[in-house]
Amino acid sequence: MNKKVRVELSPEAGEALNALEERAKTSKVDRSILNSYKYNKNRILNDPAVGDSIKKDRIPKEFIIKYDINNLFRIELSNFWRMFYTLHGDDKRIEIIAFVLDIGDHNYYDKKMGYKRDRCRK
């Protein structure tokens, strides 16, 4: 039996998505990011582990504390944006919840993951 998959948004991801939807009305760039999110949401529904798995020691402590997670995935969106999500499963309900934790641009992603901004620059 295949498990049912659903995608839920954290409050932070919901705020980011609402802001994108508002800006997408007049911005091609934001519309592109929003379309990329929608496309990747469908990919998650078809294959929950489609994103890049983040090593456990690289998961931001903020996510561990706030959401009590033990796995984290990243999907690259258009225009250097990123989406973080985690998977929760329940064998009794035969369901996987892909919980989108955050959506942000590349600088936000670097800061969240603890990467130095000038790591590629000389």
Q: State which residues form the domain around 97.
A: 4-113
Task: List the CATH number of the domain containing 104.
Answer: 3.30.2310.20
Rounded CA-CA distance 105/24 in Å is 15
The answer to whether the pTM exceeds 0.85 is no
Answer whether residue 50 is part of any domain: yes
pLDDT tens-digit profile of 38-47? Answer: 999 999 999 9
Rounded CA-CA distance 100/84 in Å is 6
- DSSP, collapsed to helix, strand or coil, labels residue 50 as coil
Contact present, 31 and 24 (Cβ < 8 Å): yes
Nearest to 43 by CA among 14, 13, 79, 76: 76
Q: How many domains does the chain have?
A: 1
Answer whether residue 33 is part of any domain: yes
Answer whether residue 119 is part of any domain: no
Contact present, 101 and 54 (Cβ < 8 Å): no
Answer whether residue 95 is part of any domain: yes
Q: Could you say which DSSP state residue 36 is in? A: H
Answer whether residue 121 is part of any domain: no
Answer whether residue 37 is part of any domain: yes
pLDDT tens-digit profile of 63-80? Answer: 899 888 899 999 999 998
Answer whether residue 70 is part of any domain: yes
* Range from 3-17, 78-92, 93-107 carrying the lowest mean pLDDT: 93-107
Answer whether residue 122 is part of any domain: no
